Chains A and B, each alone.
Chain A
Amino acid sequence: MSERKYKFSWELLGDIALGRPNLGTNTSLEVYRLMQFTFRDIMEQHLGTAKTDQIFYEAGKLAGTEFYKKIFVNVKDFNEFVEGLQKTLRELGIGILRIEEADMEKGSYILTVSEDLDCSGLPELGYEICTYDEGFISGLLESFTGSEFKVKEVDCWCTGDRTCRFTAEKIN
C-alpha cells in the first residue's frame, strides 16, 4: 500500500472534551459492543472468520503497542508494569487485570481479565471471543519485554467462565 488513509495516531481520536461539551467523554458499553460485533459480522461476510479474527488480533496488538507508548514511561520492572496496567485498565473501565503466573525468564505468563469490556455478560457461545484482547495483551507484553508473544484466550465468559484467562508465551 503506497499511501495510507487510516494510519493510526492518537490525534485521530480528536479532542473529545472539546467536541462533546454536553455528552462528555464516555458512552455506553452497548454502543461499543454494537460497533465491534457489527464489524465482526461484516468482516466475516467479506473476509471469512479466520481473517476477521486475525484482523481483530492485529488491531488489538496495535492498540496495546500504542497504549504502552502513551501510558508507560521508564518502567523499571514487571511489578511496576503490572501495577500501572491494572490501575489504568480499571480506571478506563476496560477490565480487572490479575496475574496468575509470571515466569520472566521463560517469558511465560497466565493472566485473567474480569469484567472484560468485550465479553463479560455475553451469552454462552461455546467459543472464546476476546481476540482483540489477545492482541492487546501481546502488544503490551512485546512493548514491555521487547520480545514477540503469542497470546491465547483459554477461558472466556462466552464459554461459561466468569473470568477471561489468557496464556502468553514468548515466541522469539
Chain B
Amino acid sequence: MKGIPGSLHRSQKMTSQQEHDIVDALSKFLLDTMMFANPPQIPERFAAVESLQALHAYLLTLRDFLNAASNGDLSRQVSCKGYLAGTLKTLQANLRHITWQTKMIAAGDFSHRIEFMGEFSRSFNAMVTQLDQTLKELVRKETKLSQANDELLNEISVRKQTEAALLDREETLRRLAIMDSLTGLYNRGHFNKTADAEISRAIRYALPLSVIMFDIDFFKRINDTFGHTAGDMVLQMVANTTKQMVRANDLAARYGGEEFVILLPETQMKEAVAVAERLRKRIEDTVVEKDETPIRVTASFGVSDYRGGEDVKSREKSLSEFVNNADQALYVSKNAGRNRVTVYEQEVPLQ
C-alpha cells in the first residue's frame, strides 16, 4: 500500500474508529464488487493503492469468467493466476473436456466415460452406457429385421420361381395334352374341340368354314423301305410344310397315323381347295434326305365346307359329318390314283 489519499497522513496515528471506518469502507467496496451486477469503481480515496487495483482487477476477471461460463461460454481465458483462478480453470477444463467427450459420443464413440465430476459423472456415464446398449439393441433388432426381410424376400423369390416352374410345367402339360409330340402339330382331340367351337362361331355369325383332310400316299411302303426313322422324318417334313402354308388362325392337326387335317375358319370352299392344291404341290416337290438317299412323297387331299343346320341336333352331328365329308373326298382322291385334291360335293362325292 503506497498511501491512502484523504485527510490521513502516515505521520498521524489513526484512531481505532478511523481504522474501522477504512476497513469498513474497503469491505463494503469489495462486497459491492461481488454482489452487484454493475460493479463499482475503486473509491477515489483508495484509487492509488496498487494491491487494491490488482484485487479489483482479479475480481472483475473472475466475474467475467463466471458470467460467461454461466451462459455456456467456456472459451473465456482466465488471465490471472492463483488458487481461486486455478480452481475455476480446472472446472473450465473439466467442462470443456466433457464437451469434447460429448461430441465424440454424438459421433458414435461410446467408449468415453467421465470420472471427475462426482454424481454428474455417474449419471452421465449411466446415460452413455444406456444409450450404447439401446443403440446396440436397435442395431441388433434392425439386423434381425433385415435378416427376416431377406429371408422373406428369398422365400418370395423361391415361391415365384416355384410358381413359374409350375406354370411352365402346366404349360408344358397343356401343350403335351393338345400337341402331337412328333410333328409339333395339334392332336386330334384338340382339333375336335376347336372345330366344335369354330362350327358354333360359323353358325352364330354366318361365316364360311372349310376343312382339308390329307393322307401321305404309300406311307407304309416308306416305313418298310427306309425304316421308321425315315417315316418319322417324312411325317415331320409334311407337318413343317403344312405349318408354313397355313394362316395363323387356321388349325392344322395330325389326325392319326399319316393322316392330317386343316380347319380353315372364314374360308370358302374355293379358297380351301387352292390351299390344298398348293400344299399338295409343295409336298410333292419336297425331298427328304435319309442317309444321303432322297425320299419323295405325295399326298391325297379331300376338301369340304360346313353345311350343318342351325338346330342343336344338327350341330351335334355336324362335326363328324363335316370331317367325314372331307375324308370321303380324300378316299376318292386315293382311288383316283393319289396325289390329288378332291372336293366333297353334297350327296355325290366327286373326283
A residues lining the B interface (CB < 8 Å): 79, 83, 96, 98-102, 110, 112, 114, 124, 126, 155, 157, 159-163, 165
B70-110 CB contacts (< 8 Å) to partner A: 81-83, 85-87, 89-90, 93-94, 96-97, 99-101, 104, 109
Q: Is the CB of B89 within 8 A of A163?
A: yes
List chain B residues, Cβ under 8 A from A162: 86-87, 89-90
Q: Is the CB of B81 within 8 A of A161?
A: yes
Contact of A160 among B85, B100, B109 (CB under 8 A): B85
Q: Is the CB of A102 within 8 A of B90?
A: no
List chain A residues, Cβ under 8 A from B104: 79
Other than the given A98-B97, A110-B96, A160-B83, 19 more pairs (CB < 8 A) read A79-B111, A96-B116, A98-B93, A98-B94, A100-B93, A100-B97, A100-B99, A114-B116, A155-B89, A157-B86, A159-B81, A159-B86, A160-B82, A161-B86, A161-B90, A162-B90, A163-B89, A163-B93, A165-B89
Q: Is the CB of A160 within 8 A of B81?
A: yes
Please name the residue on chain A nearest to B111 by beta carbon.
Answer: A83
List chain A residues, Cβ under 8 A from B109: 79
- Which 9 A-B residue pairings sit nearest by Cβ, starting from the closest? A161-B86, A100-B96, A98-B97, A162-B90, A160-B82, A160-B81, A112-B93, A159-B81, A160-B86
Q: Is the CB of A101 within 8 A of B85?
A: no
List chain A residues, Cβ under 8 A from B100: 98-102
Please name the residue on chain A nearest to B89 by beta carbon.
Answer: A161
Bound-state CA distance A45–B161 (Å) is 91
- Please give the number of chain B residues whose Cβ is less than 8 angstroms from any Cβ of chain A in the complex: 19
CB of A22, distance to nearest CB on chain B (Å) = 34
Bound-state CA distance A165–B175 (Å) is 88
Instruction: Pick from A83, A99, A163 the residue with the most CB of B within 10 Å.
Output: A163
B224-252 CB contacts (< 8 Å) to partner A: none
Bound-state CA distance A79–B101 (Å) is 10
Please name the residue on chain B nearest to A155 by beta carbon.
Answer: B89
Q: With A79-B104, A163-B90, A165-B89 as known contacts, state yes or no: A112 contacts B83, CB within 8 Å.
A: no
Bound-state CA distance A96–B85 (Å) is 20
List chain B residues, Cβ under 8 A from A100: 93, 96-97, 99-100
Q: Is the CB of B89 within 8 A of A99?
A: no
Please name the residue on chain A nearest to B93 by beta carbon.
Answer: A112
Bound-state CA distance A102–B96 (Å) is 11
Q: Is the CB of A126 within 8 A of B93?
A: no
List chain A residues, Cβ under 8 A from B89: 155, 161-163, 165
12 residue pairs from A and B, CB less than 8 Å apart: A83-B111, A99-B101, A100-B93, A100-B96, A100-B100, A101-B100, A102-B100, A110-B96, A112-B97, A124-B81, A160-B83, A161-B90
List chain B residues, Cβ under 8 A from A126: 81
Q: Is the CB of A99 within 8 A of B97?
A: yes
List chain A residues, Cβ under 8 A from B97: 98-100, 112
List chain A residues, Cβ under 8 A from B83: 160
List chain A residues, Cβ under 8 A from B99: 100
List chain B residues, Cβ under 8 A from A160: 81-83, 85-86
List chain A residues, Cβ under 8 A from B82: 124, 160
Instruction: Pick from B96, B97, B100 the residue with the most CB of A within 10 Å.
Output: B97
Bound-state CA distance A110–B89 (Å) is 13
Bound-state CA distance A96–B83 (Å) is 20
CB of B97, distance to nearest CB on chain A (Å) = 4
Bound-state CA distance A126–B81 (Å) is 8
Q: Is the CB of B93 within 8 A of A165?
A: yes
Contact of A101 among B90, B96, B111 (CB under 8 A): B96
Bound-state CA distance A95–B284 (Å) is 109
List chain B residues, Cβ under 8 A from A165: 89, 93
Bound-state CA distance A66–B20 (Å) is 64
List chain A residues, Cβ under 8 A from B81: 124, 126, 159-161
Bound-state CA distance A165–B99 (Å) is 16
CB of B100, distance to nearest CB on chain A (Å) = 5
Bound-state CA distance A161–B79 (Å) is 11
Please name the residue on chain A nearest to B77 by beta carbon.
Answer: A154
B97-151 CB contacts (< 8 Å) to partner A: 97, 99-101, 104, 109, 111, 116
